[in-house]
Structure 1
Amino acid sequence: EPAARAADGASAERNAEPSGKATATARPTATPAVPPADRPSAEPTAQPAPSAEPAPSAEPASTFVPLRGTDVPPPPAEAERTRQQPMPPLPPLDLLAELTNTPPPPETPVRTAVRRVKIWTPLVLLLLIVFAVVQALRPLPAPELALSGDPTYTFEGGKLDLPWPDEGQGGAEVEGVGTIGMYGEQKPAPIASVAKAMTAYVILKEHPISGDEVGPKITVDKQAGEESNRPDESTAPIEEGQQFTQKQMLQLLMIPSGNNAARLLARWDATSEEAFVEKMNAAAKDLGMTNTTYTDPSGLEASTVSTAADQLKLGKAVMQNDVFREIVNTPQIKIPGVEPMIYNNNRILLEPGVSGIKTGSSTPAGGNLLWTADTIIDGESRRIIGAVMGAQQGATLDDKLQLSIDNSLKVIRAAQEGVTSAAVVKKGEVVGYVDDGLGGRTPVVAAKDLKAVGWAGLDVRLKLGVVAGRQVPHAAGAGTVVGELTIGSGSGEVSTPVALQKDLAEPGFGAKLTRIG
């Protein structure tokens, strides 16, 4: 019994004292533990009975006392901060104050401005440096040539007046230069055998020959042989079964104005006359002959109509073929197998400079002539193309045709005398400049005299540009040819080289730096 009381006393002592120690040992915390004496016990503790025997030492029990579930202290109200949280960046002055334990100076407008200058000045300087480098390394714009003076030159004198007839319509122009003049209403009208110029154009386009070439042989069919004796139209004296070269057939078409030769060539080329007429109209469209309609290859039909302006376009195109030029400039010819001698209806071919192209006459058309003539300007031949259509004042068709021929000759003579040349630019004259694209301009001068072909009152345009396949350099020495000055076009074009008057240098750094765009 004394031993039992001693055990109960030791148990009571363990329950009453070590709870505070166990709490401190098991979970250290910044919150002070409540002393066991101030915390009411969950259940009453029995007081040990007095004993005669000394109580066993409690020291060993204080080393480790297991906690009961009811003795576990409650968790702290707020979790302990165990990791460092990221802090917002501090301004430079605040950070310095934090590091030196010196409070930041008070903010003032001046201090704020100084701080902003210190922050932004390096950035601005860096941007300026990058901008300057980019501007300096950008590719330079391509230099261009530009005229420095008036792009138009006007020939001296009043205005060239040509002796146009008072009926019908017509016009004339200098090839490669421009139109001398037009007269009458440019309204579609029958053109009669002038249509054969388009027939020849299509044949030479589909079967080109030049120089000494004569082309393939063409056999005269039955229809062409029978048509050779028609009294009501102009024909070529050919017979069925005969063979003629392409060049000979073109001669029979253009010189005696054989309608049967026109129809034979149409069938030879396109199988049928209708198919060939479609080719004629297609060719007219390609040449820009907007007021022209072909309905037959010979022009016999009154429904084949055109204007003088359209015929000038055809005349310029067909006269580019040397075989055609030779044929239409032939006053008379003897073709083997054809009797007798064949004479050209264009009776002014023997006049100086007259060289074609085609006559045409019929009751609805009157007398017509599409012609060309040459004039010598500065030692070079210049071609004049003209048309006189609708002569009706003669008593017979021959009279009407002759009237159109005579009227044409008057116009030809006036044009030959009126067309001249003028010195538009002299050697060494400043005509333009090289524009480097950044404000720099270097003058250029004509390398030789430049003469233009024209007539009184004519305005001609000057064009300054680079030579085909070349470019204006960014830098070159004085005297370097960099382009050419041109007047006219086509066969009438004349030009002179242009050279630098002084050294051409690349744009400087300042120009590169300030360039925009």
Structure 2
Amino acid sequence: MPETSRRGLGRRVKVGTSVVLLLAATAAGVQFLRPLPEQRLVSAQDTHTVDGTTAIPWPAKGQAAVRVPGSGDIGVFGEQKPVPTASVAKVMTAYVVLKGHPLRKNDPGPRIEVDAKAVADGTSEHESRIVGLTVGAKYSQLDMLKMLMIPSANNVARLLARWDTGSDSEAAFVAKMNAAAKELGMDDTTYTDPSGLDAGTVSTAVDQLKLAEAVMKEEAFRAVVAMPNATIEGLPTPLINNNGNLLLAPGLSIKGIKTGSSTPAGGTLMWAAYKTVGGETPLILGTMMDQRVDGPDPDAANSLLLVKENSRKVIEAVRTALGSTPVIRKGQLVGHISDGLGGTTPLVATKDVAAIAVPGQRLRITLGTGTGTGTGGKGKPLPREAKAGTEVGVLTVGDGAGAKSVPIAVGAELTEPSFGARLTRLS
């Protein structure tokens, strides 16, 4: 080959090589400068099951559910199909009224005038009601809540519905009840009236437990439903709680919530109890529905006795079994940070975590970057670099308000992805 041709070929090879190297360098630069993937907290375990088992004496039929807010569900019994609620519907009536017209404990609130419909409804012989009301008489909102929840007054439920919406009918209020149910995730619940007398008002034990947890956050509500009886100025006789025998049951610390009974519903009950465990006194919530005795049972009076007795057995068993159990130990590996490019950094708990639960209960475990007890979830962004021992998030044991949370820290130095990892990334 002539010398001139060899020199030309050499120049072309050099130019081609330079181009390839330039393209490779450009590609490497582009890879290196690409935004890094979002880091993720990956939990080592999503649940923890408490050692042992708890035998809950569920009823023979119907449906029920029990939960400790903060710890989570203890158990569910029966097919969760919508059934009539009877007067347990009044819990939602109280919830909607208190959301629109909040009360603090012992705050009487505005005065509400009795209308002609409430007086007329008070003469009905086949439903629970307050008798002796007079048109134009005024009672405080707190006293009206007592009439609603303690003796289960249907005429007061309807009166509060009309007062809340400024309407002559209850339809607008019922729409608010259904909207509140949707907001609480009560997907199998439909309200057709504010008292529960209508058989079209249906729900499940699991759905009603969601309502129980929400409404028991209301201080005024908790105070009212814990009353075995109450005297209202202007009423001829004291209010007597249909749930009085359970409220006064020794050793069970039952503080509400609402009974219900009707021929379509049988006996229904939403209840709240407490138990002191160490330095804590957790709330225990339960619902039981569709309880029926065999044979004739006018107005489900005997079915009401049945649901209360069946609930008492469940409450007693759960309170006996409830205790504090260790879930996470300080220094325990609880997960890792994934950098999205194959790199991981271990995460460890910085403190012990104990939960209040029953043997056999499955507790939820979550990791998050939020701060504060029971928050978890998203909060501050994860750092790209940190020394071993740096706190970067929280571990939460349980579910809902009152869940236990502790800080989590990186168990080794946290570093950004290496040059090689960035260069060879595929995503």
Same fold (TM over 0.5): yes
Deviations 1:87-109 (A, max 9, x none): xxxxxx9xxxxxxxxxx44969x
**Does residue 119 of structure 1 match 2:15?**
yes
Aligned match for 1:205, one of 92, 99, 116:
99
After TM superposition, the score normalised by the length of structure 2 is 0.86
Q: CA deviation at 1:236?
A: 1.8
Q: Deviations over 1:245-295 (max 9, x none)?
A: 111111111111112211211221231123333333333343343443333
Counterpart amino acid of residue 217 in structure 1: R
State which of 393, 400, 409 in structure 1 corresponds to 2:293.
393
Structure 1 residues 187 and 132: alpha-carbon distance in aligned structure 2, compared to 1, 3 A threshold = closer
Partner of residue 144 from structure 1, selected from 18, 35, 40: 40
Unpaired runs of 5+ residues, structure 1, are: 1-92, 94-103
Q: Decide which of 216, 220, 232 is 1:335's aligned counterpart.
A: 232
Give the SS at the match of 1:376: coil
Whole-angstrom CA distance in 1 between matches of 2:262 and 2:14: 99
CA offsets 1:5-35 (integer angstroms, 9 cap, x no match):
xxxxxxxxxxxxxxxxxxxxxxxxxxxxxxx
Instruction: Report the equivalent of 2:130.
Output: 236
Map 1:191-270 onto structure 2 (within 5 A): 191-237=85-131, 238-270=133-165
2:270 to 342, 367, 370: 370
Q: 1:289 aligns with which of 186, 205, 210?
A: 186
2:276 is paired with a residue whose SS is: strand
SS in 2 for 1:491: coil
Distance in 2, matches of 1:496 and 1:121, equals: 57
Q: Distance in 2 between matches of 1:261 and 1:225?
A: 9
Counterpart mapping for 1:272-421 below 5 A:
272-347=169-244, 348-351=246-249, 352-393=252-293, 397-421=300-324
Report if the CA contact (8 A) 2:122-2:129 is conserved: yes
Residues 188-245 of structure 1: CA distance to partner in whole angstroms, max 9, x if unpaired?
A: 3332222211221221223232344332110112232343344432222433222111
Higher RCO (Cα < 8 Å, 6 or more apart): 2
- Paired residues of 1:142 and 1:474 also in contact (CA < 8 A): no
- Residues 135 and 155 (structure 1 numbering): CA distance in 2 closer, same or farther, change over 3 Å? same
Match of 1:23 in 2: none
Q: Does 1:505 align with 2:415?
A: yes
Q: Distance in 2 between matches of 1:189 and 1:151?
A: 33
Once the two structures are superposed, what CA deviation does each residue of 1:43-96 show, in whole Å capped at 9, x if it has no partner?
xxxxxxxxxxxxxxxxxxxxxxxxxxxxxxxxxxxxxxxxxxxxxxxxxx9xxx
Are the counterparts in 2 of residues 193 and 299 from structure 1 also a CA contact under 8 Å?
A: yes
Amino acid at match of 2:270: L
Q: Contact 1:228–1:239 at 8 Å: present in 2 too? A: no
CA deviation profile, 1:168-200 (whole Å, cap 9, x unmatched): 332222224433333334333332222211221
Higher deviation after alignment, 448-457 or 113-122: 113-122
Task: Check conservation: 1:447, 1:499, Cα contact below 8 A.
Answer: yes
Aligned AA for 1:220? V
Bigger Rg, which one: 1
Q: SS of the residue aligned with 1:225?
A: helix
* Cα displacement (A) at 1:113: 6.9
Helix, strand or coil at the partner of 1:381: coil
> Aligned partners of 2:28, 2:170: CA distance in 1, in Å?
74
State how 1:50-69 maps to structure 2 within 5 Å. Answer: none
> 2:339 & 2:78 partners in 1: Cα distance?
50
Please report how far the alpha carbon of residue 137 of structure 1 lies from its aligned counterpart in structure 2 after TM superposition. 4.2
Gaps of 5+ in 2: 371-377
Q: Deviation of residue 447 (structure 1)? A: 0.7
User: Following superposition of structure 1 onto structure 2, how do residues 174-193 of structure 1 map, counting pairs within 5 Å?
Assistant: 174-193=68-87
* Alpha-carbon contact 2:45-2:334 (below 8 Å) kept: no
Distance 1:114 1:420, change over 3 A: farther
SS in 1 for 2:348: strand
Deviations 1:280-330 (A, max 9, x none): 333334334344333332222333333323322222222222211111111
1:291 and 1:511, CA in 2 relative to 1: closer, same or farther beyond 3 A?
closer
Aligned residue for 1:471, secondary structure, equals coil
Tell me the distance in 1 between the aligned counterparts of 2:99 and 2:349. 40
Equivalent in the alignment of 1:454: 357
Fraction of identical pairs, as percent: 50
Deviation at 1:114, TM superposition (A): 4.8
Distance 1:288 1:153 in 2: 25
Q: For 1:164 and 1:505, locate their aligned partners in 2 and report how far apart those are by CA, in whole Å.
A: 53
> For residues 96-107 of structure 1, what are the structure 2 equivalents within 5 Å?
104-105=2-3
Query: What is the TM-score of this pair, normalised by structure 1?
Result: 0.72
Post-superposition Cα deviations, 1:313-370, rounded to whole Å, max 9, x if no partner, equal 2222222222111111111112222232222110211233212111112233222211
